[in-house]
Structures are given as C-alpha cells and as structure tokens.
Chains A and B, each alone.
Chain A
Amino acid sequence: MRTTPRILSSEKIMKTIKKDKINTVLDFLIKKYQVFGPVQKDDLVVDFGRIQNGAQACLEFSNTNEPAKKLFFPQAETLFSYTGSDAAQVSELKPEKPRIIFGMRPCDAKSLSLLDAVFDGPDYKDPYYIVKRKNTTIFTLACRRPRSNCFCDSLGIGPFSKKDTDVFMADLGDRYVFEPITPGGADILNKIPGLENARPTDAERLKNLRSEAESKVARKVDLDNLPEKLARIFDHPFWDGIHQKCLGCGICTYLCPTCHCFDIVDEQKDDKGRRIRIWDSCSYPTFTLEASGHNPRATGKERMRQRLMHKFRYFVENYGEIACVGCGRCINHCPVGSDLIREIENINNLK
C-alpha cells in the first residue's frame, strides 16, 4: 500500500489568493498539467471534467455526482487492442502531462487510499490505475456546507480532513487558502505565481470554519462493532426483508467512490478489436451468472447482502478498513430511498 510522504510542519507555509483570482491559478496549472476539476454539466449535475481554462471550474458545489474514482478507474477503459489474432498492444499508460485534480472533496480523497489497497496491493499490481495515480497531484477542497446525507465524520474523515491529499484548500469567503501536505504538493504551490503568504489569523480562521463545518455534519452512524456483527448474521432472516424494495440498479455502486468491481469484455469491428474493462455492479444478476445458468447470488437478497458485507466486513478483513467514506451519494441517489445509515442502524440493533 502507498505511504504518503509528509512534509515537516515548519515547511508548511500556507498560501492564499483572492477568490476572483483563482482562475489565474488554474490557468497557470493548465499550462503544465492536465487539470481536472468540478464542472457544471447541467443545472443539477456537477462532475469532474478536464478543464481547459480556469473559468470552466465550478468551485461552488456541494459534491460531484460521480465520484473522483473515475479519473483513476474510468467507467470504460481499454486494457489493450489487437488486430485479428495478433498479440495484444498496450498503449502508453502514462498521461501526456502530469495531472492535477483540483477541488476533490476529502471523502473522495480518502476513497483513493482505499482503492490503492485494491489496485496497488501487495500481490497483483494494476498498472492502469497505478500509473494514473502516480502521475496525479490532488488538491482537496474542504467542505463548508456538508450535505444532509454526509456522514464522513463517522468514518474518521470530516469535512476539513487533510488526509490523503497533496494540497489542502479551503474557502475563507473572499479568499482561498492552500496548505501543502506532501512535498510534491508544496513544490507545485511554490511555483504558482500570484499566491501570497497566508495571514497570521488564517490558521485560527480555518480552525473555526472547521468546527463550524463539522457541526453541520448532521448524520452519524456507529460502525464500531459492525464488521464483527456482520460476521455473525450471514444467515439472519433480516436479509429476507431488506432487499424487497431494491430495484437492483447500479446507482449505489457506480456512484460510490470505493466500489471497484468491474467486468472485462472484448469489442471488435472488422479485425480491429480491444479488450476493455467497465464498471460492473454486485447489484446486477449478471455479475455472478455463470455460463451453465447457475447463479450463486440468485436473488436480490444475496446481492444486497454481498454489497453490505463487502463494504463493511470483507474489505475490513482484507485491508483493515471499511470501504465507505460517508459521502452519502448512495443515499442521495437511491431511486427508492434506501438509506445506508438506516440499514446499518438496523443491523446494529439486530439481536
């Protein structure tokens, strides 16, 4: 797993810039890096996209609809291509320019460390993910207005978390402040023209804003005994009821920043083809449907159980952490109003 180098606190010189100048920062970065940031897709949807000029970024947003994972683990990605039955051709995995993700939320930043455990684990390495990750610097933007279903606090993250990022940013109202977290982040910060040193009072200001934001995280969930509890209730009748209203769509898994399941398929036109991987979901019957017609997870019950078990038990057993960052996307977007927090409470309350 990745260990993030940290810089000494004495080198942590906070920088600041007026809000109306933030575009100049982006414009500078765009010259040297591929910059991705939140962009408005329509009235309701903000998502990460490539930014060609600073004005495209939309930094006044709650969170992106789709999580940042797609920048490292895209929904559809070519593993290699081929002609006829010739050997596989893998194209250059390294991005043309190093990348910056500007304005990722702390929950999404944390999710990358969880994905690292899977794709950059001790056994098999996933070059597609790792190369993107190694060539990316992350600027997280603290959340001043957590949404109603955010519960990152309960996962030890919090709206002002500085973990798993290279540069930490916060909105002070009329200015942004930047705090370097890793040497790589500090390097980049030092090169950006127009940044001033932060004011002496800014640290105190940040502290206040932080507690203010934390107090707005309204939802909490007790996860202390969940993995052990789940280990004991695999056969509990509870699972017979919980999945009833579930539609079996892929929203909760596709929009989850930690879900990493995928499918691999071939696509071919004439004699040119490629093998691609695409997001897949444990909610779909086809996920485990075998050629013989047998399906070990035959109904919504087994599939819903797998989703919760994977996040809150199996992942913990394999990698030592819960595979949830409390972003609330699955709750916000579930078409039938399934509420993960309530499900967990129900599990906690089971005898």
Chain B
Amino acid sequence: MKNPYVPMPVKLKAVRLENETGDLKTFDLVFVNSGDAENFKFVCGQFAMLSINGVGEAPFGIASSPLTKEVLRFTVKKYPKGVLTTALHNLSEGSTLGLRGPLGNGFPLEKMTSKNLLVVGGGFALTTLRALTKYVLHEKNRPHYGDITLFVAARDPGEMLYKDDLAEWSKRNDIEIVQTIDKPVEDWPHKVGFAAPVLKDLAPSAQNTTAVVCGPPIMIETCIKVLAGLHFPDEEIITSLEMKMKCGIGKCGRCNIGSKYICKDGPVFTYKQLKELNSVTV
C-alpha cells in the first residue's frame, strides 16, 4: 500500500526572486531519487505539497511543463504570517525538502484539443497557466490547438511574473499575448486597467474557444462574468480554485465546496460545475 502522506526528497537546484516587492520566489527542484523522478507523471494544472522538516507542508501549483523533465518549478508567495512560505523563502540552493504529489485533477487537456484557447491569469496565480502555455506551445502539441491567447494581469510591471517566458513567447507568431497593469506607468507599452474591464474591451470571441481563468478570487469572479457576457458557455470557462489544504487527498475534510474536495476533485472546475455545486463560495 502506497503511503500518501510520505513526501519524496527533493533538492533545491535554483531559486530566484520573481518580483520587485520581493515576496515571490521561483524554485527549481530536482528529485533526489531517480526512481521518484521517473514515476512522477503529472498533467498541467496539478499541484504538489512542498514540505520542510520541522516546519510543515503546503500546496503549490506546478509551474513547469510536464514535458520539461529536468526540473520541477514552483513560484511561491511569502506571507508575513505564513510558516512554510516564510521558511521556503529562507532556503538556500542545495537544501533538501519534501514533495508529495502530483495531486488534483489538472486541466482537461483532452477536451481542449482543436479548440482556441484563451488563458487568463492574474497575480501569482500564473503558475499552472505557465505550465499550460508551455505545454500547448510545445512543437508536438501546438498543431492540436487553434488560436492561443494569453492574457496576463499584474498590479504593476515589477509584479509581472515569468518575464523571460513572456519575452520569448512574444517572439512567436502562434500565440497572442496581452498584458495589463492596474495603473499607468511610464514606458509601459501594453494595456492599463484591471483585468475584467480590459478583458471586456478585448472582447475575445467565444467561438469554439475554451477559457482558462486563474487569479485572485475577485479577479476570477469578475472575469468569469465578463466571459459569460461574451457568450462563453459555462462548460467552456475553466478555473482553478484554492482553499486551505492539509492532506491533499480528500480526507482531512477542509477544502470542500459542496460535496467536492478541491484537493482531490479539483482544483480545476468548470463554471458549470461550480454553479451546480451551489456556489462559487463555500
């Protein structure tokens, strides 16, 4: 019987600061045991529990693509009162930590094939969307999808995540990238304004399109409204939810909305499912 509570040892290969505020760091991890590396098969949108002995454990979305075998990437926001996130930010390269996963359902990639994709991300919730974008842009996968639009919102330019990736993708002609920041800043060549109104102005076509929206709760809510207004069908609006988690496997009882556990049955849900669960709230 596999023990689902025991983490696999991983080493912190590289860590770097991701934003100007200094509360976001990206961690590249490698498995200590090669067997673990081989067995670790995940899909975009899944998450894992990271832990530090003596400190604790917490869930983080996997930000690297399943096709990138070398490292597993996570981007972690540090909370002043957060036990684990604070400890993670204090780790130096070479440290050992624990990883449990992959957990959750991930994005319904099968169902998305041959569709246009509208990927909408805000703040540091861009993590699993980065994995998704990298995955669909991979030369093996790109032919299976229609037009791809990546819409990214951040408070200001300094908070924009994955700047290297965005720069690289911007050079391609098979993905459209829209970036917006909350308030005008000198020399900012992109859009200005909150995610929802900018998205509304952009008015992406709902025709044969699946939208994936991740971000802070308020952004998810407002963007879903915009998309529904643009006639995106409920089942074509996909989002990823967050709630406090402990077990990650549907047993500790805390992360449910209705009868579904976000950790096990989610974190990815369609807007249709959320409506059936009685609420977008818990």
Contact = CB atoms under 8 A, between A and B. Distances in A.
Asked if the two chains touch in their complex, CB atoms less than 8 Å apart, one says yes
Interface in A315-329: 315, 317-318
A259 B81 CA distance: 29
A268 B253 contact: no
Interface string B20-62: 0000000000001000000000000000000111111110000
A232 B5 CA distance: 36
Contact of B2 (A125, A265, A273, A293): A125
B3 A127 contact: yes
B53 A268 contact: yes
Nearest to A234: B278
B1 A292 contact: no
Contact of B4 (A124, A260, A310): A124
A287 B6 contact: no
Contacts of A85: 52-53, 95-97
Contact of A264 (B246, B253, B256, B259): B246
A266 B55 contact: yes
B250 A124 contact: yes
A294 B244 CA distance: 10
Given A88-B98, A261-B253, A130 B1 contact: yes
A6 to B, nearest CB: 25
B53 A296 contact: no
B142 interface: no
A79 interface: yes
B249 interface: yes
B259 A90 contact: no
**How big is the A interface, by class?**
35 or more
Contacts of B247: 262, 264
Nearest to B278: A234
Interface in B56-94: 56-58, 79, 81-82, 85
Given A86-B53, A124-B4, A264-B246, 7 more contacts: A84-B53, A86-B96, A90-B3, A128-B5, A264-B56, A297-B282, A314-B256
Interface of A: 79-80, 82, 84-88, 90, 118-119, 123-128, 130, 231, 234-235, 260-268, 271, 273, 275, 277, 280, 282, 287-294, 296-297, 302, 306, 309-310, 313-315, 317-318
5 contacts: A90-B3, A124-B250, A124-B264, A275-B5, A287-B254
Report, nearest first, the 10 A-B pairs whose CB atoms are least far apart. Answer: A261-B253, A268-B54, A314-B259, A291-B82, A317-B259, A124-B249, A291-B79, A85-B96, A273-B54, A296-B282
